[in-house]
Amino acid sequence: MLNSKSFNSVIHDLENHDGEFIAVLDRIIKFIVNRFKNIEELREEILEYDDTYQIIITDMNFNFWLKLSNGSIIYKKGVNRSASFRVIYTKDIMVKILKREMYGTDAFMKGIIKVDGDLSQGLRFIKLFRLFIKYLNNGFKKENI
């Protein structure tokens, strides 16, 4: 299991090594998506989802999307023009959210992050992101990333 020391080490890698940011975040996302695919309890959490979420990290030129449908999840790098919901971050804001120094909803309310999509999709995205954070904090060993 990931303890607070190793979690902080992963976040430190994201925060302080621009050259490694994309590679580390990519490995984290792949790991968590794999957990969703392999753990029934997690698949049940996303059973009613039928959305495509585009995430854009502007200052790192890193774009990826997640397609959720009937309990399955697909992760791809790049832009999905048909995404039903988009969230635009900077690297620093993403790291602050992962470190729990800021909540995504607070960042949105302050205009720090931008979103494009309807309220119901936004609420599902918040739930999905919280599940990701939960399993980022509790569900893996650092050496697995």
Q: Please, are residues 60 and 21 in contact by the beta-carbon 8 Å criterion?
A: yes
Residue 2 has pLDDT above 50, yes or no: no
**Mapping DSSP to helix (H, G, I), strand (E, B) and coil, where does residue 88 land?**
strand
Domains located in the chain, CATH noted: 4-144 (3.30.1050.10)
Taking the whole predicted model, whether its pTM rises above 0.95 is answered as no
Q: Residue 143: its pLDDT value, please? A: 44
Pinpoint the alpha helices (H) of the chain: 4-16, 18-38, 40-45, 91-98, 104-109, 119-138
The model's pLDDT over 27-36, given as tens digits with 9 standing for 90+, comes to 888 988 888 8
Task: Tell me the pLDDT tens digit for each residue of 92-121.
Answer: 998 888 888 898 889 999 999 999 999 889
Residue 91 backbone phi and psi in degrees, to 5: -55, -50
Q: What are 59-99's pLDDT values in tens digits? A: 988 999 999 998 889 999 999 999 999 999 999 998 888 88
Q: What angle do CA 80, 105, 78 make, to 5 degrees?
A: 15
Compute the radius of gyration of the chain from its Cα atoms: 14
Q: What is the pLDDT of residue 99?
A: 80
Which residues face 76 on adjacent strands?
Answer: 65
Place of tokens 């430190």: 12
pLDDT (0 to 100) of residue 88:
96
